[in-house]
Structures are given as C-alpha cells and as structure tokens.
Amino acid sequence: MTDKQIRTIRSFVKREGRLTHGQQLALDTQWPQFGIDYSAELLDIHAIFEREAETVVEIGFGNGDSLWQMAQAAPEKNFLGIEVHRPGVGHLLRLIENSGCKNLRISNQDAIDVLQQQIPDESIDRFQLFFPDPWHKKKHQKRRIVQEEFIQQIARKLKPGGIFHMATDWEHYAQHMLKELNDSPLFSNLSADNTYVPRPEERPTTKFEKRGQRLGHGVWDLLFQKK
C-alpha cells in the first residue's frame, strides 16, 4: 500500500455530532493551551509538553475518558491524543479543564496525516489503538487502519524498544491485527504464547467495555514491541 493510498482510504467515517455548549466552550477556551494545530511541520515534543518525559500517543480516543484517566494516573508521562470527532475533543478538554490535568495534549486531525507530517521518527515511547472501527463487512475491510503501511509508520515513529498496544472487542479484527503484527519483521509479540495478553493495568476499563462484558462480549489486548 502506498502513502497516497493510505491517505485517501479513510479508516473512519466522520459523523460529526452536535457539540454541547460545554464542549464548545471548552474548545474555545482550552484549545489554545492544550490543542495542537495541524501543519505539515514536525512537532517539537519536548517543547509542547515543556519537559522531557516518556511520551504516549493514543490514536482515536473517542470521548477521551480512558485517556484522561491514564494521564491522571501517570503524571510523570506525556500523553498526546488524536481524534477526528470534535464532540469527543470538546469532552476531553472539559475533563482537562475541570481536573487541572497538565500532561495531556490533543490533535483534532486524521491520525495518518499527523503520523506522516508531524510526529518525528523515533520520538514516541508507546502507541495506543483502542477499539478502532473493525469494518467487519468484507467489502469494507480495506478501511481497517491496521494494515502493513500503517504498521511500518508506527514502527518509524516509535523509539527502539517502543510499545504498540491495541485492543478490540471484535474477535475477527483481533485475529486480523494479530496476524498483521506477527507477520511484521519490525515487531515482537510480548504475549507468552504469541497471541493476546491480559488487559494491562494501565488501560482503564471503559463503560462501553463493561457493558459489552455484561453481554458476554470478549475483549482482546495485543502488546507488541519494536525490535
């Protein structure tokens, strides 16, 4: 898959819901401090956070609840969240404002564009991809974000020994991700049996995930390390 293809085949449908008054207010007041505007220039990660620290990037954080919890639980780390849906961005900015969280920054842009244009090579300690759209219909599976070119891009941006953590509640997508990463010469599977891992303690259980568990749905976590 070429760079041109990965830019034009989107892994998401941008269903832009209505912003609440609080979300819009948070966007207006908090974005200048915690938002990262998109440009075709590399970011200075240390300057953005005003310190040198382990940096975690989450791709597609949804409403941001779990990312905010992780940032609160690990103030010694830097967290950068990427999400295309503005209501989710507004919700996370409200959480930041109300809690005084200082170690979290947000990009409201397609993650592929951010990876290609803004994230420096070998600058990130950990990437997170939790519950991405599984595109379960066969004709749509070309839209799945976890493809060979995306994996190569993640590897380029991770520091040596960096971690790629994925989670999904769709078993077929879990199998797809497992195969793609196991087949990659760039990563090593950190599970004991070369499959999945128990949910790492640092990943909070979301309301959506708890509801699925009550209905008997499974969740699969995958943990890979850059070679």
The per-residue pLDDT for range 121-147, each reduced to its tens digit, is: 999 999 999 999 886 666 656 879 999
Task: State the pLDDT at residue 90.
Answer: 98
Spatial separation of the C-alpha atoms in residues 104 and 50, rounded to whole Å: 12
Please say whether the beta carbons of 132 and 164 come within 8 A: no
Task: State the pLDDT at residue 208.
Answer: 73
Task: State the pLDDT at residue 173.
Answer: 94
Instruction: List, for the chain, all residue ranges whose pLDDT scores fall below the cut of 70.
Output: 1-17, 135-141
Task: State the pLDDT at residue 137.
Answer: 65
Q: Which residues are catalytic?
A: 133
Q: Where are the domains of the chain?
A: 38-226
Task: State the pLDDT at residue 171.
Answer: 93
Task: State the pLDDT at residue 47.
Answer: 97
Task: State the pLDDT at residue 181.
Answer: 98
- In this prediction the pTM is 0.91
User: Which has the closest alpha carbon to 43: 92, 114, 108?
Assistant: 114
The tokens describing 138, both together, are: 């066969």
Task: State the pLDDT at residue 21.
Answer: 96
User: Which amino acid belongs to residue 10?
Assistant: R
Task: State the pLDDT at residue 2.
Answer: 44
User: Which amino acid belongs to residue 218?
Assistant: G
Task: State the pLDDT at residue 4.
Answer: 45
Cβ-proximal residues to 108 (8 Å cutoff; 6+ apart), any chain: 35, 38, 83, 84, 86, 89
What is the DSSP pairing of strand 78-82 with strand 55-59? parallel
Task: State the pLDDT at residue 153.
Answer: 98
Q: Which fold has domain 38-226?
A: Rossmann fold (3.40.50)
